[in-house]
Structure 1
């Protein structure tokens, strides 16, 4: 009886968390899936999905979201790999300061981030006016309210987030391995190719997948910066459930299912690559 009670008490402690998961994650997800198969007249079918994949406008939204996610995630993982390694090599107070700064900026996104970029690089932003005063307009041709501006903002909030995810991976590299490689006549390139990169690769791939999903579902930053002027999948979902003109919650649910399926596909690819890497390292 005591053994059963010892098992029961931890389960009772997990009950509030289970209720939270069911009430705020599973039930809304189930409702979204059901509503995605409901037409505007209430009849169940594939009407919403036919609309999505038969309309060039929604296909463009999917393409644009995939494009900006791939570009921002690729650039961010490269910058984060370099920056994370540099931070991991710092010792003492310098390491603690950089980790604290990175941790703080990793959660600086959404509307505050977009507002900060507007203040600094908008049409009347601080740096824009400064470059104009210095007569550097010919060298400074950057439009924040454009596709390139949106990519820069996405990269900005992706880099510190990726560094925080990569730091534990870099801490797994031991200096003894480098010393052993040098003693055996291995070059720096050989160390990175045969020792460091195989160890870091699973963490890099996992972080890249998280960055891709994070940018694919980002809504507040793009909406605060560009409104509805650019066709992105999260912005279209938001406009269909909270727009001023057309409200189509069932179509928004179908778009949400498509977004979730893309994320699940990315996670499945990540898992497949991870299993292959672990098998090759054995």
Structure 2
């Protein structure tokens, strides 16, 4: 019994922390989303407003669109990149892990400031584009949805590399050698063996990338303010509005964001399990 006492105390402490920082705030958020502005009674008006108001529906579409685009580009790029890394020496792999860890921590306001210096209205690259006559670079608009896609890709790529590097350990080198001995081409090996084995992990990482992009706030807020209508920025504005706060609308938007992420997690899990079944035949 004495040996189990530290374990029980640790579990009690963990339960208290979970209730304090996760369960209670989440429950309070859900309850507030059904409250009318000013309090008192229960209503569905908040959800009706966010699902029909053009300002809120545009924020949802922009967030989902930017998140999907950045996640698709990032997962394709990192899948190829990580294979190139693991096919080289172990030292190169460790070097890339260190670099990816360092770059993944460079986010938020410092990241937005760095992009403003490079691609802002008077950024270094835009000035270079004007002097060199490169029109697409000279006219690049960082403060737009496409500009945010580039910023999102910055913190998606290091995360993808870190998460995808270990999955290639599941590939046995003997499988490729056996496939080549049987006359299979490189394309056939990846189509029949490599990708089916890796696909469950790739789907899981893609789901994490999408969730990461949907919840991004600091970089987008520092870069565009209210210039690009995003769900995370709209939630913040309902709590700290310039005219008056509407925390009930913010709570409803937060619940909607949580539901989108929950659906993303469930779909990702189902697709990963389906891919795993296909890989096992």
TM beyond 0.5? yes
Q: Which runs of 5+ in 1 are unaligned?
A: none
CA contact (8 A) 2:68 2:210 kept: yes
Three-state SS of the structure 2 residue aligned to 1:31 is helix
**Counterpart-to-counterpart distance in 2, 1:29 and 1:233:** 18
**Counterpart-to-counterpart distance in 1, 2:275 and 2:125:** 45
**Counterpart-to-counterpart distance in 2, 1:199 and 1:5:** 46
Which structure 1 residue ranges, 4+ long, deviate > 4 Å from structure 2? none
| Alignment correspondent of 1:18 | 15
> Against the structure 1 CA distance between its residues 19 and 181, is the aligned structure 2 distance closer, same or farther, given a 3 Å change threshold?
same
**Counterpart-to-counterpart distance in 2, 1:8 and 1:192:** 51
1:102-121 alpha-carbon deviations (Å, 9 max, x no partner): 12112222111111101111
Q: Post-superposition shift, 1:18?
A: 2.5
**Counterpart-to-counterpart distance in 1, 2:275 and 2:199:** 8
**Counterpart-to-counterpart distance in 2, 1:237 and 1:139:** 33
**Counterpart-to-counterpart distance in 2, 1:15 and 1:84:** 41
Q: Could you tell me which of 157, 174, 179 is aligned with 1:181?
A: 179
**Counterpart-to-counterpart distance in 2, 1:138 and 1:10:** 61
Q: Post-superposition shift, 1:250?
A: 0.8
Q: Which runs of 5+ in 2 are unaligned?
A: none
| Alignment correspondent of 1:260 | 258
| Alignment correspondent of 1:57 | 55
Three-state SS of the structure 2 residue aligned to 1:240 is helix
Of stretches 210-219 and 43-52 in structure 1, the one that deviates more from structure 2 is: 43-52
| Alignment correspondent of 1:203 | 201
What pairs with 1:214-253 in structure 2 (closer than 5 Å)? 214-253=212-251
| Alignment correspondent of 2:64 | 66
> Against the structure 1 CA distance between its residues 38 and 89, is the aligned structure 2 distance closer, same or farther, given a 3 Å change threshold?
same
CA contact (8 A) 1:87 1:99 kept: no
Q: Post-superposition shift, 1:275?
A: 2.4
What pairs with 1:165-180 in structure 2 (closer than 5 Å)? 165-180=163-178
Q: Post-superposition shift, 1:231?
A: 1.1
1:202-227 alpha-carbon deviations (Å, 9 max, x no partner): 01100110011110111111101100
| Alignment correspondent of 2:84 | 86
**Counterpart-to-counterpart distance in 1, 2:188 and 2:205:** 24
Q: Post-superposition shift, 1:14?
A: 3.0
| Alignment correspondent of 2:269 | 271
Of stretches 179-188 and 4-13 in structure 1, the one that deviates more from structure 2 is: 4-13
> Could you say what the CA RMSD is over the residues aligned between the two structures, in angstroms?
1.6
Three-state SS of the structure 2 residue aligned to 1:43 is coil
Three-state SS of the structure 2 residue aligned to 1:229 is coil
| Alignment correspondent of 1:28 | 25
Q: Post-superposition shift, 1:137?
A: 4.2
Q: Post-superposition shift, 1:22?
A: 1.4
